[in-house]
Each structure stands twice: as structure tokens, then as C-alpha cells.
Amino acid sequence: MSTTARLLAPLRSAALLRPLAPAMAATSASSRLLHTTSSQAHVDTSSTDGNQPQGHLPGKASSVFLTSLNDSFFDKVTPNVLSGSNNAQGGIPTFRLLDGTGKLLPGVTDAMLDITKQEAVRMYETMMLLPVMDVVLYNAQRQGRISFYMTSHGEEAAVIGSAAGLDHSDEVFTQYREMGVLVWRGMHLDDMMNQVFGNEGDMGKARQAPIHFGNPSLHFHNVSSPLATQLPQAAGAGFALKRTKGRENNVVICYCGEGAASEGDFHAGLNIAATTKAPVIFFVRNNGFAISTPSTEQFCGDGIASRGPGYGMLTIRVDGNDALAVRAAVKEAKAKCLAESRPVLIEAMTYRVGHHSTSDDSSAYRSRDAVENWKKMDNPLHRMRSFLSERGWWNDEMEEEIKKTARKRVIDAMNRAEKKKRPSVTSMFEDIYSGELPQNLKEQRAELARLVKKYGKSEVWAKELNKHAEEGRDLEKY
């Protein structure tokens, strides 16, 4: 026996043999767990609520006592309801309303869908707009017209379904692959293109890489490149919402990928939200990959959902390619966040059909066939379209029309954005601090003015300055 084990042994046996505290011997309808020295846990149904402190397990007074080491280890989380023989392998079940072809599953009623024709059609139209933007902008990057891009291919249902489950005034923290939330909330295509092209019309003054959107009026917080930083921020925002008059009916939704869930900030964010009882929905897109690393190599537990109970968090796993199920799960998560004053974890199971970004070629780590098969086997757009068509809410003419008009809208907006100049050179010194510009930045601006005066007419400098509004003349006064 090791020294530590020897020291702990008497403490453990004392705990096992200690008589019940008097308060726990009182009778009550609810069941309670008893100390036991056998390998079986015993439940005393004649006693109190089981929440009385026993003095040695802070925060978990009702823990079952086992003496068998073998029985005491576990590696599975058991949800309240498992789907019987369909779930022979155990594990966390997945909530869905549509089958893989878009048909309602047996027993799914209109009341469970709880959606109007108008909203369902708008969801599909928005889902359709995403691949149009993706194709146009992906190609624009390939032609050198923008520096970077990330597509949403395959994840249209997860993003639009979740956006549709919320109110426009709910706060949104994203990773980067969720620009569909902005499209759903009505961000103008011109504004989106201005960001991607980093021109003088960009709300973020072209200080971020493409697709790092932010839009205060749509309650969409700035994307930041370092993974998972949004999670602790979202927890803080949730806590702030709770304390802000007039925001009692709002929640925060915080998106991340299953890869980002391996960051320390994931733990920090979920634990802060759980302990402060903040109304935050953590929405994890489990799309199978973190760049080239498949999820099978990222963690050993049952997906990300298995971690929810570890934080004492209500958790649901949802079919992320079923837009209606995602919407229903998020709506219910919001209701539970507010009613029970606690965060919820959602794991949306989906598949990243596109490359990770324009800097990636996924054929280096997965076969093109595998991707094509996924597109055919489980396509979120096809599923939603077939649901709508079955109800007579959609037809081929509408499909053709939307494809044509969407492409034209996107290309027109892109062309307008491309013609605009970059922000003026001096704008980079503005809005960094409120109040007067600090001395060091004044000095940097003066230095830049001096250099532009000296070299500005040279061919290389002139060409670059020409791309900016005011072409560098705004520096003359410094």
C-alpha cells in the first residue's frame, strides 16, 4: 500500500461506517442513498430529500457509496432517456424531427414543429443563400480578389436552424463559420461584402481578416481568430444580461466547433456560466474535423455532449443537419435557460463538406468520395427542401428563381464592394482609445506622415496609397 493510500484508508472506512445524521433519518416520499459496505448501492426510500450534508462530500451529499473498486470506475454518461433497443451501443441519443430524406419521423406532429409556412420558407431561402455566397467568395479568393474565406458548406441547417430558434435581440458570440446568423438577422449583403473586402464601408474599419464580422445593432459580437476566446466572454455577457433591466427575456448563444472545445477557454466558459447561472446556450458544431484532425482523434468521450453533466449543465445532442430539430432544440434551450436560470449545452452533429478554409485542401486528409457520399447521404438543404415540397410550400420554379436571384444579388454586392476604396490611412489611428489619442500613437502617425511625404511619390508607395480613401493626403496635416 502506498503512503497516501495508507493515510487515506482509515478516513475512507470511517466515512463508510459513520451512522446516518439524524436529519437524514426522517421519513419523506423522495428516495435517498445509503452508505453501504457491499458492492451494491442501496437506496432508502423512507427518508428525506437526500440533500442533507453528510459532512465529507461538499456539493454532493447524496452520492451513492460503493466499496467495489471495479464498480466505482465509469466512463459513460447515461442520459435520462435512451432510445431502447435502437441504442444498443449506449451513448447519448440524438434529437431529430426529420429523417435523412426530409420526411417527418413517425409521431412528429405540427405542434412539435411549431412553425409557419412563412418562417420555414424563409429558413430555406436563407440556407440557400449561404452556398451561393460561399461559391462566389471562395472563387473570389482563388482569383486573388480577397485574402481569405471560410465556407459553411454542409452546416447550413445547424447555423440557420439555431438562428431561427432565437430572437433578434439575443446576443451572439461566434467562432467564424456562422455568418448565416447575420444573414438570418437581415445584415445587408453590401455590409457583409464591405467586411470581406476590407473597404471604407466596413463597420470594423477593415481591421479584421475577412469573415471576422461584428455588428452591434444585430447583437453580433466580433469574431476573433484565437479559438474559444468567445466562450468566457459569452459567459460574462450572460451574467451581465441577467443583471440588466429590460433584458430579462434575452439569452446569449455562443457557437464553437468541436475542435475549439479542446481549448482551456471552453472549460473556463462553461464553468463560469454554470456557476453564475448565466442564460447562455453553448452551441457546439460537431462537424467531424478541426482542420485536418478528425473528431475521432480529438477526444475520447462521447462527443462534446458528454461534458455537459460535468458542468452540471442541461445538455442535448441534436441532428445538426435537421434545421427544424435544431430550431426546436434552441427554442427549448432558451426557454429552459430563462425559466431555470442556467446555461444549456447543445451539440449539433453535422459534417464539414467544404475545405477548412481557403488555406486548406481537405483531399490531403480525407477522400473526395467520402465528401461526395456525405453530400448525397445527409444533405441539410435537400432535407429542408423535401420537407417544404411535401407540404406544398415549395416547388421547382421557386427553386430556380431563388438560385438565379440569389446569385445576382451576391455578385452585384460583391462588385459594389470591390470598387470601394480602403479606409483612409489615418483612420487606423482612430477609435482605438476613447478620448484624446495617446502620445505614442501621435508620434507613430507623425512618423508615417514623414515617410509618406518622403517616399509617397515612388511607384510602389503611390500604387498602395491610391487604394485608400484620400490616397494618403489625410496625413499631410500631421
Ligand X SMILES: Cc1ncc(C[n+]2csc(CCOP(=O)(O)OP(=O)(O)O)c2C)c(N)n1
Site residues, ligand X (CB under 6 A): 177, 225-227, 256-260, 263, 285, 287, 289-291, 352, 356
At its nearest, how many Å lie between ligand X and the CB of residue 284?
Answer: 8
CB 179 within 8 A of CB 192: yes
| Region binding Mg ion by CB under 5 A among candidate stretches 43-51, 238-246, 289-297, 427-435 | 289-297
Q: Residue 254: beta bridge partners?
A: 173, 282
Shortest reach from residue 224's CB to ligand X, in Å = 9
Interaction residues for Mg ion, span 37-96 (CB under 5 A): none
Three-state secondary-structure class, residue 33: strand
Own/partner contacts of 379-382, CB < 8 Å, gap of 24 or more, are 379/321, 380/127, 380/154, 380/155, 380/156, 380/157, 380/158, 380/320, 380/321, 380/322, 380/323, 380/350, 381/124, 381/127, 381/128, 381/131, 381/156, 381/157, 382/101, 382/102
Nearest approach in angstroms of CB 321 to ligand X is 15
Number of residues written out for the chain: 478
Query: Are residues 156 and 130 in contact, defined by beta-carbon separation less than 8 angstroms?
Result: yes
Which among 30-38, 220-228, 279-287, 420-428 is the span making contact with Mg ion, rule CB under 5 A? 279-287
Residue with Cβ nearer ligand X (58 or 226):
226
Closer residue to ligand X, CB minimum distance, 293 or 373: 293
Q: Kindly state the smallest distance separating residue 289's Cβ from Mg ion, in Å.
A: 5
**With CB cut-offs between 5 and 8 Å by kind, which of Mg ion, ligand X, none does residue 291 bind?**
ligand X
Please report how close the Cβ of residue 183 comes to Mg ion at its closest, in angstroms: 21
464 binds, among ligand X, Mg ion, none (CB under 5 to 8 A by kind): none
Which of Mg ion, ligand X, none does residue 102 bind (CB under 5 to 8 Å by kind)? none
Measured from each CB, the residue nearest to Mg ion is 257
Q: Enumerate the H helices of 276-426 as residue ranges.
A: 323-340, 368-377, 380-390, 396-419
CB closer to Mg ion out of 284 and 316? 284
Judged by beta carbon, residue 283 or residue 289, the one nearer ligand X is 289
Residue 185 binds which entry of Mg ion, ligand X, none, CB below 5-8 Å type-dependent: none
Cβ closest to ligand X, residue 47 vs residue 321:
321
User: Is 285 or 385 the residue whose CB approaches ligand X more closely?
Assistant: 285
Least Å distance between CB 288 and ligand X? 8
| 151 contact choice in Mg ion, ligand X, none (CB below 5 to 8 Å, kind-dependent) | none
Minimum CB separation of residue 140 from ligand X in Å reads 20
Burial class of residue 333 in the structure, from the number of CB atoms within 10 Å of its CB (0-12 exposed, 13-18 middle, 19+ buried) = buried
CA trace torsion 433, 438, 440, 443 (10° rounding): 110
**Residue 259 binds Mg ion (CB under 5 A):** yes
- Contact predicate 452/472, CB 8 Å: yes
Distance of CA 222 to the CA centre of its chain: 14
State yes or no: residue 257 binds Mg ion (CB under 5 A).
Answer: yes
When the beta carbons of 273 and 353 are compared against ligand X, the nearer one is 353
**For the CA atoms of 409, 410, 413, 419, what is the dihedral angle to 10 degrees?**
-130
- Cβ-in-10-Å burial (0-12, 13-18, 19+) of 29 comes to exposed
Q: Which residue, 150, 193, 154, 143, is CA-closest to 174?
A: 150
Q: Within a 10 A sphere around the Cβ of 347, how many other Cβ atoms?
A: 27
Question: Judged by CB, which is closer to ligand X: 307, or 356?
Answer: 356
Residue 154 binds: one of ligand X, Mg ion, none (C-beta under 5 to 8 A by kind):
none
Considering only the stretches 4-12, 138-146, 280-288, 364-372, report the one whose residues sit in contact with Mg ion under the rule CB under 5 A: 280-288
Cα 156 to Cα 72, 96, 377, 395, distances in angstroms = 42, 16, 15, 20
Q: Which is nearer to ligand X, 159 or 384 (CB)?
A: 159
CB of 185 to ligand X, least distance (A): 20
User: Shortest Cβ distance from residue 18 to ligand X (Å)?
Assistant: 47
Instruction: Decide if 154 contacts 362 (C-beta within 8 A).
Output: no
Joined together, the cell numbers standing for residue 423 give 479606409
Interface residues with Mg ion (CB under 5 A) are 257-259, 287, 290
